[in-house]
């Protein structure tokens, strides 16, 4: 990807999973890609070719949060067993090299959006998982403030 000249072509990627990469998100300037492949989510710097594995992330439910100079990532994890149904919202900051649990949401996150200023996360939560309804879970909209990068 040549953002300056607006050309598209093959791009070298360090390793490919058995089924190749799935593109999850791209930064506003085109420099950072959020990829999933080989059972792992990655940040990929198109300028340097650097690939950063995101610990604990192996999900299609992920996205970039662009902080000044830092391509952080959000990703979701689901727990469903017996009467428990909840989503975990994780935040990965590459400057820290670790993922932080932001919140545990009772129910299924059906959709999520990050505000244009990258400061807030909105979640649509439902109490249905396929044909099962969890009566103890309240559906609705969640709004939360995202963390700011460590100085």
CA distance 2 to 30: 9
pLDDT tens figures, 21-45: 778 888 877 888 888 877 788 888 8
Interatomic CA distance for residues 21 and 34, integer angstroms? 10
DSSP state of 2: B
pTM: 0.69
Largest interatomic CA distance in the chain: 54
Torsion angle of alpha carbons 4, 17, 97, 117, nearest 10°? 40
Among 4-13, 94-103, 131-140, the range scoring the smallest mean pLDDT is 4-13
Which residue's entry shows tokens 């970039």? 64
- What would the pLDDT profile of 115-132 be if each residue is shown by its tens digit? 888 888 888 988 887 787
pLDDT digits 0-9 by tens, 62-100? 777 776 666 777 777 776 666 667 888 888 888 788 888
Answer for the pair 87, 108: CB distance below 8 angstroms, yes or no.
yes
């Amino acid at each position: 990807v040549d953002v300056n000249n607006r050309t598209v072509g093959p791009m070298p990627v360090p390793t490919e999973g058995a089924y190749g990469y799935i593109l999850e998100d791209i930064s506003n300037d085109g420099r950072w890609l959020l990829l999933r492949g080989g059972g792992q989510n990655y940040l990929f710097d198109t300028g340097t070719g650097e690939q950063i594995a995101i610990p604990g992330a192996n999900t299609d439910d992920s996205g970039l949060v662009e902080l000044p100079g830092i391509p952080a990532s959000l990703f979701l994890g689901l727990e469903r067993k017996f009467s428990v149904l909840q989503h975990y919202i994780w935040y990965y900051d590459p400057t820290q090299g670790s993922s932080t649990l932001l919140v545990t949401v009772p129910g299924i996150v059906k959709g999520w959006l990050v505000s244009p200023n990258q400061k807030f996360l909105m979640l649509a939560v439902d109490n249905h998982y396929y044909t099962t309804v969890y009566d103890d879970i309240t559906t609705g909209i969640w709004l939360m403030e995202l963390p700011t990068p460590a100085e």
